[in-house]
Amino acid sequence: MRLLLPTAVLLGIVLIAIAPSRTSAQIQYLQAGISPGEKLSISFEASGTGRSCTVVEVRGDFVGCRTESQGIGRPAEEWYNLRLVARIDRFVAKQ
C-alpha cells in the first residue's frame, strides 16, 4: 500500500512528459515523405487532374510549391494544406 501512491505519481509524471513529445503518424509521414526541390503533382480529388509544382518548403501540414510559369513573369508560389489533398504523385527523374 505504501508504494501504490508513489508509483502512481511517478507513472503520471512519465505520461505527462511523454505525451507532448509524440507526433501523429500522418505528420511524421508527410514531413519525411516530401522534401524541398521535389517535383510533385497535387490533386484534391482522388480521380482528378493534379497541379504540378516543385516543393519550396514544408511547414507542418502545409507545403509551399513553385509552379511553372505559364507566360511572361516569374513562377508563382502557392501553399497547399496537405490535409485537404487526396493524392500526391511524384515525378521520378530518369536515370
- Distance CA(54)–CA(30), nearest Å, equals 16
- Residue 56, pLDDT score: 92
pTM over 0.85: no
Q: How far apart are CA 88 and CA 5, in angstroms?
A: 51
pLDDT tens readout for residues 14-69: 667 666 554 444 444 455 478 889 998 888 887 878 888 899 998 888 999 998 76
DSSP for 52-87 reads EEEEEEEETTEEEEEPPP-SSSPPPEEEEEGGG-SE
Residue pair 80/66 in contact by the 8 Å Cβ criterion: no
Tens-place pLDDT, residues 70-91:
666 666 888 998 888 888 888 8
Fold classified for 25-90: SH3 type barrels. (2.30.30)
